[in-house]
Amino acid sequence: MTQTINTENTQSQMRKGVLELCTLSVLAMGEAYPTEIIDQLKGSKMMIVEGTLYPLLTRLKNANYLTYRWEESTSGPPRKYYKLTPQGVKLLTELENTWDEMADAVNKLLKENKHK
Amino acid sequence: MTQTINTENTQSQMRKGVLELCTLSVLAMGEAYPTEIIDQLKGSKMMIVEGTLYPLLTRLKNANYLTYRWEESTSGPPRKYYKLTPQGVKLLTELENTWDEMADAVNKLLKENKHK
DNA sequence: ATTTACTACTATGCAACACATAATACCTGT
DNA sequence: ACAGGTATTATGTGTTGCATAGTAGTAAAT
């Protein structure tokens, strides 16, 4: 029993790929640890949860787009501070282009076919 | 052996959810059969292939967002002309809002964190 | 000193979907 | 009959968002 199409579900689907771009974009400002990244994304109205972000960071790290260093915290366990590698910067640039092109295409289409 | 993050793959991921919106948007102009839909989307630089569109149309039809009628063709097998149901129109409106919100959030984020 | 609460990270599994691939069926012209 | 183009259907795979649960560290409260 699957096959549910609804707005909520589609929102998740739309986030796919974009979350990767958004995470890289946050890290373009400088290193950050997961909770900081989540807070910044929430501040931009881009929802993301731990269960999504942690695996994503691990994938990006394994693919050499990110590195991290441990840092002690005064209020809890040590944190992993992530930052972009040169390849990560390159990937970010490419994904920004991909996003721009797709967003343009969608906006154009929606405008053309606007229903009253 | 999985775990490949690259621009190509992310492009697919970004399309998820958006293709549903784009398909509904094309049908907002009036009924169309799959090949027409594909052509219109390609005209807007939104890539989609048969293997993606046919299952998508079936999902939307099963969820009562679309209906179709058969029509004979003078140059090949009969075609399924799809059109939006009232619920489909409603879904389209919701997805347009979802898209606008997400696109705004992403654009804002990219602008803020623009790397030099 | 044990409990509680908070923070940070890790592990596992599921569901949804794009896409590749292949197959089926219909029509037209030779 | 056969070939080629068009339209639809069926099946399987890989990626990923997210839910859920668990581990571990710190600090304040009892």
- List, for residues B81-109, the tens digit of each pLDDT value: 999 999 999 999 999 999 999 999 999 99
Report the range of poorest mean pLDDT among A28-37, A106-115, B55-64, B102-111: A106-115
Element spanning A80, H or E: strand A79-84
pLDDT at residue number A114? 79
**Measured in Å, how far apart are chain B's first and last C-alpha atoms?**
35
CB contacts, 8 Å: B21 with chain A: 10, 14, 106, 110
- pLDDT (tens digit per residue) in B41-70: 999 999 899 999 999 999 999 999 999 999
pLDDT at residue number B38? 94
Share above pLDDT 90 across residues of chain B, in percent, rounded to a whole number: 76
pLDDT at residue number A5? 74
Q: Using CB atoms within 10 A of its CB, is residue B102 exposed (0-12), middle (13-18) or buried (19+)?
A: buried
For the record, the structure tokens of B66 come out as: 């679309």
pLDDT at residue number B115? 60
**Measured in Å, how far apart are chain A's first and last C-alpha atoms?**
35
User: CA-to-C1' distance for B77 and C13, Å?
Assistant: 43
State the Cα–Cα distance between residues A80 and B72, nearest whole angstrom: 62
Where is pLDDT greater, at A52 or A3? A52
Domain A12-100 falls under CATH 1.10.10.10: yes
Mean local confidence (pLDDT), A68-73: 90
Q: CB of B29 under 7 A from strand D?
A: no
pLDDT at residue number B1? 44
Residue A1 has pLDDT above 80, yes or no: no
CB contacts, 8 Å: B99 with chain A: 14, 106, 110
For the record, the structure tokens of A53 come out as: 């972000």
State the Cα–Cα distance between residues B11 and B99, nearest whole angstrom: 16
User: CA-to-C1' distance for A79 and C18, Å?
Assistant: 36
Residue A2 has pLDDT above 50, yes or no: no
Radius of gyration from C-alpha coordinates of chain A: 17
**Which nucleotide is nearest, taking the CA of residue A53 and each C1'?**
D17
The architecture (CATH level 2) of B7-112 comes to: Orthogonal Bundle (1.10)
Mean local confidence (pLDDT), A47-73: 93
Residue A3 has pLDDT above 70, yes or no: no
State the Cα–Cα distance between residues B28 and B10, nearest whole angstrom: 28
Mean local confidence (pLDDT), A105-111: 94
Contacts 24+ apart (CB under 8 A), B36-45: B37/B82, B41/A109, B44/A105, B44/A108, B44/A109, B44/A112, B45/A101, B45/A104, B45/A105, B45/A108
What are the residues whose beta carbons fall under 8 Å from the beta carbon of B30, sequence distance 6 or more? B83
